[in-house]
Amino acid sequence: MLDIVGSKVRFTVLASLAKGSKLSIPVTPRSVARVYGVNLTETYRFFRRLESSGLAVRVRGGYVLSERGLALVDFIVSTLPNPTQWSSPFMEWVRRSVPDTMYYIAYPRLQSWFGLTPYLIVFDRRLAGALELPKGIKVVGESSGLGEGLVLAVFTSLRGKSFKYSWDYHLSIASLEQGYSDLISYTPFWTNIIPDVLLNRDVLDIDEIFERATGAGRRRLATALAYYMTLTGRVVTLKTPFYSLVDESLLSSVIEMTPYLLDSRILEARNI
């Protein structure tokens, strides 16, 4: 569609309005400009142009497509790109059905273990009940086990969350720290995720992960960090006073991470 409309601003506004209108949810120029990283003035201008041409109407909480505009929804959605790199049915569903300002995908971008990559889709909580999730995407806390292909979903407020639309994947993706804080906070496989954070602490802002995490996430990360420092004798400098967050009930789970934190030769040689 980018080829047809000729500008990123037009593409983003039309795609957001089309997907939002399907769910009867208004979108705001500000959120579109922020998530897609496009010019805010241009975005406002195009919304107003659509409004003046009768394709969009201003409602409480943003804009939606008008009756005339709604006739274009299926066409707009059908032209949305579906890049082959991320061409799973789940991702395609997200691309075509969910406004990019109302979700983001968190995944361990610094994954240092072999195996499938788990994904967490963080939806705006206003979408709860409005979306019919495809079979296989499990909502955290609603059912045990993982979704097919390790895809989990959570509905929460997106206020203050850090994410951007990726023009490569055509999906909204969490920032590095936001992604890790969500994976640690919400998913049952947080013990697989934390070694990534600890072993890549040079390229991550661990204080920001603490700030962005939920209470549970902070306790998990603090307990793991305290164990890691005791286990390895390595020092991590932080502004977060994490020892007060250490949760003793999580220690057994944290100790199970040991093989992922130290070289197996050291573990064997020193009987750790």
Cβ-proximal residues to 262 (8 Å cutoff; 6+ apart), any chain: 231, 232, 272
Smallest distance from another protein to CB 67, Å:
54
- One-letter amino acid at 67 equals E
Cβ 241 to another protein shortest distance, Å: 7
Long-range interactions of 144-152: CB distance < 8 A, separation 24+: 146/118, 146/188, 146/189, 149/88, 149/90, 149/116, 149/119, 150/116, 150/117, 150/118, 150/119, 150/189, 151/90, 151/118, 151/119, 151/120, 151/121, 152/118, 152/119, 152/120, 152/121, 152/186, 152/187
Instruction: Decide: is 265 part of the binding site for another protein (CB under 8 A).
Output: no
> What is the rounded CA–CA span in Å between residue 217 and residue 184?
5
Q: Are 146 and 189 in contact (CB under 8 A)?
A: yes
C-alpha span between 263 and 256 (Å, rounded)? 14
* Residue 223 interacts with another protein (CB under 8 A): yes or no: yes
In whole angstroms, the minimum distance from the beta carbon of 114 to another protein comes to: 22
**Is the dihedral angle over the CA atoms 152, 153, 158, 164 positive or is it negative?**
positive
Residue at 170: amino acid letter: H
Q: How far is the CB of 178 from another protein (least distance, A)?
A: 20
Contacts to another protein from residues 198-217, by CB under 8 A: 207
Applying CB under 8 A, what is the total number of residues that bind another protein? 26
The stretch near another protein (CB under 8 A) out of 32-40, 60-68, 73-81, 254-262 is 254-262
Q: Give yes or no for residue 144 binding another protein (CB under 8 A).
A: no
Query: Per the structure block, which two tokens stand in for 10?
Result: 């037009």
Query: Which stretch in 128-136, 141-149, 189-197, 250-258 sits in contact with another protein by CB under 8 A?
Result: 250-258
Task: For residue 264, state whether it binds another protein (rule: CB under 8 A).
Answer: no
Stretch that binds another protein, among 6-14, 113-121, 134-142, 249-257 (CB under 8 A): 249-257
Residues comprising the chain, all counted: 272
Least distance from another protein to the Cβ atom of residue 255, Å: 5
Q: Could you say whether residue 84 binds another protein (CB under 8 A)? A: no
Q: Which of 203, 233, 263, 265 binds another protein (CB under 8 A)?
A: 233
Q: Is 249 in the site for another protein (CB under 8 A)?
A: no
Q: Is 130 in the site for another protein (CB under 8 A)?
A: no
CA angle 136, 141, 142 (to 5 degrees): 55
Q: Does 239 bind another protein (CB under 8 A)?
A: yes
**Rule CB under 8 A: which residues touch another protein?**
207, 223, 226-227, 229-233, 235, 237-239, 241, 243-244, 246, 248, 251-252, 254-255, 258, 270-272
